[in-house]
Amino acid sequence: MVIAKTTTDVRMNKAGLNGAVVEAVARGEKPYGIIIEYMALNAKAAGSPVDFVFPEEGVSSITQPVAILAGSDNIEAAKVFVDWQLSQAAQEQSVTQGYFPIFAGVQPPAGYPAVADLNILEADPVVMLAEDEANKLAFADLFGG
C-alpha cells in the first residue's frame, strides 16, 4: 500500500477480469492497467500495442502454490504431480506459458528481465494474512470498490 499512497488523483475502475484490462489498454480506452506481468507481456508478444513496466521501487512475488491435501483419495498420484511441478521440465514449460521460472539456470521468457535485475519486495506470509482485511479496505478506500 505504500506505493499506492504516493499516487494522487487516480481514477480507477474495475475491469472484472485481467483480460479486460489488457484489452482496454490496447484499445486506448485506458492509459494503463494494473495486471499480472505475464498477461501483458504475452499480449505484447502476440502483437498487442501494450507493454509492462516493472517498477524500480519493487515488485511483489506471486506464488503458485501446490499442496497435497491430507484427505486426498490418491496420495501417490498427488506426490507424482507435485514432483513434476517442481521439476526442470515443468519450469521450462512454465516459461513457454509466460511465467518466471523458480529454478536458477532456467531463462525467463523472451522480453522479460532477468529475475536478478528485479527488486523483489520482501513478503512475510504470516504478516500478509494478518493484514489482509485491512489492506483490502485501504485499497477500496483509495481506489473505490
SS3 label, residue 56:
coil
| pLDDT at residue number 76 | 95
- Which residues of the chain are modeled with pLDDT < 70? 1-16, 145
Over its C-alpha atoms, the chain yields an Rg (Å, rounded) of 18
Instruction: Report the distance separating Cα 70 and Cα 31, nearest Å.
Output: 47
| pLDDT at residue number 4 | 45
Where exactly are the structural domains of the chain?
1-59+120-145, 62-117
| pLDDT at residue number 77 | 96
Residues 49-53: contacts with CB under 8 Å, at least 24 apart: 50/22, 50/25, 50/26
> How confident is the model over 77-113, as pLDDT tens digits?
999 999 999 899 999 999 998 888 888 888 999 888 8
